[in-house]
């Protein structure tokens, strides 16, 4: 047992000795290796430290340059340089010691080993630092984003432009408006105005927005370009992997919750703001765009569209003076210069460009010549074509179809500044083939109006008076320029602005000689391709017999306002004729129309014709016939009208012809004959009595539009012609007790009652579809809405109400009407009703909340206009108040009330009216206060308020300008 134990112990001791020996040998060998590699390590360390020092110097130089550029070195770079400096400090003593040990160590083995280990460790550190690389020592830094950047732009010239800037600022400051569009024709000054707005914000309101971003759009929409401009403005660095969607998200994140104004200049089509990355639904974000197309305003769903109009005469002259310079001070130059400016019709771009063209040109001959030739291809004015017409032409080229382009060019056939009747224009388009003639007049007019509206929205046509449009003179010049370069394309030949005419090319198809002072017609026998010929407004007295002989293709002929009394025999050769206009000619007799089977439109209004010929009934394709104002028309042979089986529109208003079946002995057309016209949809006529109407109410109900006047023949008529799709009924001297007219009344949308009697509540109840009501000289009316109708809904659709010369009317409504009574009323006009004490009673006030206009005149006993309740109820949509000639009127409203939407107040001869319903809150909407200066000075105001409203006051025209200036 003891022997075994001793053996185990010896084995253990032997094992320990062997392991210890191995470890010692291994440790000794490692140290020996470290010492043996010392020379190589020292050599590598010297090489690596030199490289590291060189690298450090390069990085330090880059850091110095970055700091000079305002950049901040990366934190990693700073830490790296700090580590390199420490390593250098540690390595230098080791290298110095290596030089000392070159001649012998002179120290213990342990000291040698420790030194060699430090060298090896530093070598690893230096190699590690040398392996580190930096693409850049400092990140790109952007300069701080400016809220507003000043833009280079000429200052605004003229009071209207400055006023427009002020209004635009006011709109921009309104919290309820997010999207704003400044729109108008090319060259009108949209960009100039908005750039001035930008600079106004830069100088005077720099903290209104956190950032204003200006983006230049283009004719062809490019969302990537828009995104790129926005990203650059907000210092958003592009990334290689950016897609439009990812960039949109990055822009959105950057702009979200910021108060921004995005200005999109020259927008031609809808911009998807969401796709761009604009937080357009954020109330902090506002959008301001400029465009030539009102259609863009619609598609962008703008809250406010701000239309720029042409400059007034004074501002136009000021701008021209600013552009042309001191040369205008020379004797004799101002007169031709003013003529030039007048011809530019207030278009700022044209005024500026032509003004610069005439700068430093003192020669009188040049100025006189410019009056006639600036719009022609003169070398002096080549920049007009490039700068002005080039800009304007973009609107033309952007039209989406050839039809629209031809419709625009067609308008240039009318003279400069000519008021073009839209209805006639569309009929010409229809007859010339621009609109398909194989459809009803109604459908053709609908389509034509859509074309006109598109041209208006594109600023190529301007709205004139109701039912008419105008082509701005500069845009007519553009059309003439386009036609001069490509007349063969569409075959138009239009006269320039002066009254003398030029002969067209033989290939011309559409020729206008309108108002060219032609007495003797030119020879046109060579123009066999002619489809449209305008001769209206010329003092032509005779047309040669063979004039129309070779005009076989003619489709539209306009001889209105000429002096002809008859048409030549060759007129019957116009087999393709679709439209014939003879309006306001002293024409006494019409030719036979038997050969003109394709005629669609015939206008002989205001002529001296006495009868319609027997061949008239052969016009089976005729769609529209205008016989209005034919004061000498006595004879229409029976069957002449009923034979017009395609007739859709008949206008015989203010004609001398009597449709009464009992008049005359010959077989004649009567009102009953009209009932056979299955396609008739528009009728304008005067009848002697309601006898025929009462029995034809069901037929009348089918009409799309009518204007029927019932009055004795010896009564003058001054009623307005029906508008739009109105169904107007004018009844004069009708006794409602004797006539059963309830069915007839139900068909009308507009009703005028003149000197009628016997109206009762049951008649008012028939007027549920009525939109316009005029009651004049009906003296039996004391109250429009009485107790009798307290449980009934009267006039639920009525929008316009006129009460005129009602001597016994003492109240309009004497009860708090129920339901929808007067709930859609927008305008009320009260004239010479002497017993009325007020216009809008408290009973009415709560019902007429949509009321927009109140006009009252000559009610001598009226003391108030609006009677409010205890809580000062108001009319939230009231825009206009006009009151005249009422000496007893002491108040507009009996309670202190400010009407929030009020834009205009006009007061005349109301000396007792001392207060206006105005407060500071009205300033944002108010445009004008007009009245007598003496009355204005007598008004009573709260402290300091009068001076605030002074800017809106305009004295009545009878007041002299000098008195107004003196007052100010």
- 666-702 per-position pLDDT tens digit: 688 889 899 999 999 999 999 988 887 877 888 999 9
Q: What is the pLDDT of residue 371?
A: 78
> Look-up: residue for tokens 């120290």?
107
Please tell me the distance from the alpha carbon of residue 726 to that of residue 707, in angstroms, as a whole number: 8
pLDDT in tens, 732-770: 999 988 888 888 899 999 999 999 998 887 788 888 889
Pick from 244-248, 266-270, 843-847: least confident? 843-847
Residue 81 has pLDDT above 90, yes or no: no
Between CA 322 and CA 340 the distance in angstroms is 15
Closest CA to 884 of 859, 903, 909: 909
Measured between alpha carbons, how far is 289 from 214 in angstroms, rounded to an integer?
10
pTM over 0.75: yes
Mean pLDDT estimate for the chain: 86
CA distance 519 to 514: 12
End-to-end CA distance of the chain: 138
pLDDT at residue 260, rounded to an integer: 93
Exposure string over 498-508, b if 16+ CB within 10 A, otherwise e: eeebeebeeeb
| Higher local confidence (pLDDT), 922 or 684 | 684
Cβ atoms of 771 and 798 within 8 Å: the answer is: yes
- Predicted confidence at residue 297, as pLDDT, reads 94
Q: DSSP code of 735?
A: B
3-state helix, strand, coil in the chain (%, to 5): 40, 15, 50
Q: What is the pLDDT of residue 963?
A: 36
Assess whether pLDDT exceeds 50 at residue 961.
no
Cα separation of 543 and 546, whole Å?
Answer: 8
> CA 266, CA 188: separation in Å to the nearest integer?
12
Asked if pLDDT for residue 35 goes beyond 60, the answer is no
Reported as a pLDDT band with limits 50, 70 and 90, residue 107 is: low
Using CA atoms, how far apart are residues 621 and 896, in angstroms rounded to an integer? 64
pLDDT at 403: 95
Residue 965 has a pLDDT of 33
Residue 288 three-state SS: strand
Residue 810 Cα distances to 165, 217, 781, 785, 828, angstroms: 48, 61, 9, 11, 16
Tens of pLDDT, residues 832-886: 999 999 998 877 888 899 999 999 999 999 999 998 876 667 899 999 999 999 9
Reported for 129-132, long-range contacts at CB under 8 A and 24+ positions apart, including other chains, are: 129/52, 129/80, 129/83, 129/84, 129/87, 130/48, 130/51, 130/52, 130/55, 132/80
Model confidence band, residue 966 (pLDDT cutoffs 50, 70, 90): very low
Range scoring the smallest mean pLDDT among 17-21, 469-473, 782-786: 17-21
- Mean pLDDT comparison of 368-377, 780-789, 940-949, 952-961, highest-scoring range: 940-949
pLDDT at 541: 94
Higher pLDDT: 488 or 85? It is: 85
Helix (H) or strand (E) holding 727: strand 727-732
Q: What is the DSSP string of 184-198?
A: -STTSSHHHHHHHHH
Structure confidence at residue 382 (pLDDT): 66
Q: Quick check: 322 pLDDT over 80?
A: yes
Q: How far apart are CA 684 and CA 86, in angstroms?
A: 105
CA distances from 5 to 8, 10, 11, 12, 570 (A): 5, 9, 10, 11, 154
Bridge partners (DSSP) listed for residue 565: none
Residue range 432-486, pLDDT digits in tens: 999 999 999 999 999 999 999 999 999 999 999 889 999 998 899 899 888 887 7
Task: Express each pLDDT in 894-915 by its tens digit.
Answer: 887 778 999 999 999 999 999 9
Report the sign of the C-alpha dihedral through residues 487, 488, 492, 493, in that order.
Answer: positive
pLDDT tens-digit profile of 699-734?
999 999 999 999 876 655 555 555 666 899 999 999
CA pair distance 839, 844, nearest whole angstrom: 9
Q: What pLDDT band is residue 262 in, cutting at 50, 70 and 90?
A: very high
What mean pLDDT do residues 331-342 have? Answer: 90
Burial of 690 (0-12, 13-18, 19+ CB in 10 A): buried
């Amino acid at each position: 047992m003891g022997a075994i134990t001793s053996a185990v112990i010896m084995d253990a001791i032997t094992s320990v000795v062997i392991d210890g020996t191995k470890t010692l040998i291994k440790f000794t060998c490692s140290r020996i290796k470290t010492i043996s590699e010392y020379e190589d390590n020292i050599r590598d360390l010297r090489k690596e430290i030199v490289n590291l020092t060189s690298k450090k110097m390069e990085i330090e130089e880059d850091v110095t340059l970055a700091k000079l550029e305002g950049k901040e070195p990366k934190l990693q770079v700073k830490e790296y340089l700090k580590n390199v400096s420490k390593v250098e400090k540690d390595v230098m003593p080791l290298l110095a010691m290596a030089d000392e040990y070159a001649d012998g160590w002179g120290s213990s083995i342990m000291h040698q080993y420790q030194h060699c280990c430090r060298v090896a460790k530093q070598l690893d550190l230096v190699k590690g630092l040398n392996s580190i690389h930096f693409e850049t020592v400092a990140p790109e830094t952007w300069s701080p984003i400016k809220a507003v950047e000043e833009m280079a732009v000429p200052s605004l010239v003229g009071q209207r432009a400055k006023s427009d800037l002020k209004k635009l600022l006011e709109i921009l400051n309104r919290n309820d408006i997010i999207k704003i569009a400044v729109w108008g024709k090319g060259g009108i000054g949209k960009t100039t105005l908005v750039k001035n707005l930008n600079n106004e914000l830069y100088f005077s309101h720099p903290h209104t927005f956190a950032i204003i971003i200006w983006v230049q759009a283009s004719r062809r929409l490019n969302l990537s370009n828009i995104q790129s401009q926005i990203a650059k403005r907000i210092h958003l660095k592009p990334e290689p992997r950016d897609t439009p969607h990812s960039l949109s998200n990055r822009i959105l994140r950057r702009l979200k919750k910021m108060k921004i104004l995005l200005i999109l200049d020259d927008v031609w089509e809808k911009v998807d703001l969401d796709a761009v990355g604009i937080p357009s639904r954020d109330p902090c974000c506002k959008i301001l765009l400029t465009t030539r197309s009102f259609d863009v305003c619609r598609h962008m769903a703008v809250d406010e569209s701000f239309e720029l109009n042409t400059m007034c005469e004074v501002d136009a002259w000021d701008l021209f003076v600013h552009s042309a310079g001191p040369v205008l001070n020379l004797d004799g130059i101002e007169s031709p210069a003013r003529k030039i400016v007048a011809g530019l019709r207030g278009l700022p771009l044209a005024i500026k460009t032509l003004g610069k063209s005439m700068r430093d040109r003192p020669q009188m001959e040049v100025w006189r010549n410019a009056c006639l030739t600036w719009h022609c291809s003169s070398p002096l004015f080549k920049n007009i074509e490039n700068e002005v017409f080039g800009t304007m032409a973009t609107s033309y080229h952007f039209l989406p179809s050839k039809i629209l382009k031809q419709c625009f060019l067609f308008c240039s056939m009318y003279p400069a500044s000519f008021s073009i009747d839209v209805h006639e224009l569309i009929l010409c388009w229809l007859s010339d083939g621009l609109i398909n003639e194989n459809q009803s007049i109604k459908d053709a007019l609908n389509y034509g109006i859509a074309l006109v509206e598109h041209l208006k929205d594109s600023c190529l046509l301007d709205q004139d008076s109701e039912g008419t449009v105008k082509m701005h003179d500069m845009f007519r010049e553009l059309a003439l320029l386009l036609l001069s370069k490509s007349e063969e394309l569409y075959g138009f030949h239009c006269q320039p602005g002066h009254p003398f005419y030029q002969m067209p090319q033989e290939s011309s198809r559409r020729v206008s000689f309108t108002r060219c002072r032609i007495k003797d017609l030119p020879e046109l026998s060579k123009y066999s391709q002619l489809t449209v010929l305008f001769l209206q407004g010329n003092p032509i007295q005779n047309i040669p017999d063979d004039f129309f002989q070779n005009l076989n293709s003619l489709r539209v002929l306009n001889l209105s306002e000429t002096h002809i009394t008859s048409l030549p025999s060759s007129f019957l050769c116009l087999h393709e004729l679709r439209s014939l206009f003879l309006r306001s000619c002293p024409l006494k007799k019409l030719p036979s129309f038997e050969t003109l089977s394709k005629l669609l439109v015939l206008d002989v209004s205001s002529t001296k014709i006495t009868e319609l010929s027997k061949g008239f009934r052969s016009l089976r394709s005729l769609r529209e016939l205008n016989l209005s104002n034919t004061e000498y028309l006595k004879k229409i042979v029976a069957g002449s009208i009923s034979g017009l089986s395609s007739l859709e529109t008949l206008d015989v208003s203010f004609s001398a012809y009597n449709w009464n079946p009992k008049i005359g002995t010959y077989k004649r057309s009567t009102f009953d004959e009209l009932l056979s016209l299955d396609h008739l949809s528009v009728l304008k006529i005067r009848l002697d009595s309601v006898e025929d109407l009462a029995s034809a109410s069901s037929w009348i109900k089918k009409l799309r539009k009518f204007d029927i006047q019932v009055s004795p023949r010896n009564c003058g008529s001054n009623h307005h012609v029906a508008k739009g799709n109105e169904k107007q009924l004018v009844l004069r001297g009708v006794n409602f007790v004797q006539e059963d007219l309830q069915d007839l009344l139900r068909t009308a949308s507009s009703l005028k009652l003149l000197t009628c009697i016997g109206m009762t509540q049951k008649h008012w109840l028939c007027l549920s579809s009525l939109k316009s009501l005029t009651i004049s000289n009906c003296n039996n009316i004391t109250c429009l809405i009485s107790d009798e109708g307290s449980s009934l809904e009267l006039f639920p659709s009525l929008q316009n109400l006129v009460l005129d010369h009602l001597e016994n009317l003492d109240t309009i409504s004497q009860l708090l009407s129920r339901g929808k009574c007067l709930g859609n009323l927008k305008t009320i006009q009260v004239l010479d009703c002497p017993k009325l004490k007020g216009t809008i009673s408290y009973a009415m006030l709560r019902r007429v909340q949509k009321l927009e206009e109140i006009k009252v005149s000559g009610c001598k006993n009226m003391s108030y206009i609006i009677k409010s309740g205890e809580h000062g109820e108001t009319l939230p949509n009231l825009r206009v108040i006009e009151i005249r000639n009422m000496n007893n009127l002491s108040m507009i409203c009996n309670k202190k009330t400010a009407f929030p939407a009020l834009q205009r107040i006009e007061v005349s001869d109301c000396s007792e009216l001392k207060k206006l319903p105005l407060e500071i809150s009205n300033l944002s909407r108010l445009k004008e206060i007009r009245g007598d200066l003496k009355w204005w000075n007598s008004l009573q105001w709260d402290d300091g308020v009068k001076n605030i409203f002074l800017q809106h006051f305009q004295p009545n025209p009878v007041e002299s300008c000098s008195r107004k200036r003196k007052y100010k």
